[in-house]
Copies of this chain bind each other. A is one copy, B any other.
Amino acid sequence: MENCLPNRSPGCPVEGTLGVIGGKWKGVVLYHLLDGKKRFNELRRLMPGVTQRMVTRQLREMEADGLIHRQVYAEVPPRVEYSLTTKGETLRPIILALKDWGEIHVPYYVIKPTTDVA
């Protein structure tokens, strides 16, 4: 165990990356943000199987990690826009790789959505 770290550092670069985008829905949020900023409920509608609480949490964690930007407008009803930061943009190759693999290997869309996504 010479390559074991005493503290909580990741043991390999893959583990390090997953420490940042390993959350259950982070990849999906990032995917939807790839084509531009989105409002909160807009993201929710894009991820119908995910609860509001989870969308919020994943967004907050990624904001804390500097991956996304949260822009609040002092309006009523409230308006909040989420977008990728420069750092978040660097994840694009990963997200696209996840997308490409899923399109080929995971059977999913039975119902074709009318609105095209990302």
The answer to the question of A78 belonging to the interface, with a C-beta cut-off of 8 Å to chain B, is: no
B101 x A91 contact (CB < 8 A): yes
The answer to the question of A9 belonging to the interface, with a C-beta cut-off of 8 Å to chain B, is: yes
Q: How far is the CB of A12 from chain B (nearest CB, A)?
A: 6
A49 cross-chain contacts in B, Cβ below 8 A = 4-5, 8, 10-11, 15
Chain A interface residue count, CB cutoff 8 Å, equals 57
Copies per complex of this chain: 2
Indicate whether A18 sits within 8 Å of B13 (C-beta atoms), given known contacts A4-B49, A90-B101, A111-B3: no
Chain B: CB-nearest residue to A4: B48
Indicate whether A3 sits within 8 Å of B97 (C-beta atoms), given known contacts A13-B108, A87-B105, A106-B10: no
The answer to the question of A115 belonging to the interface, with a C-beta cut-off of 8 Å to chain B, is: yes
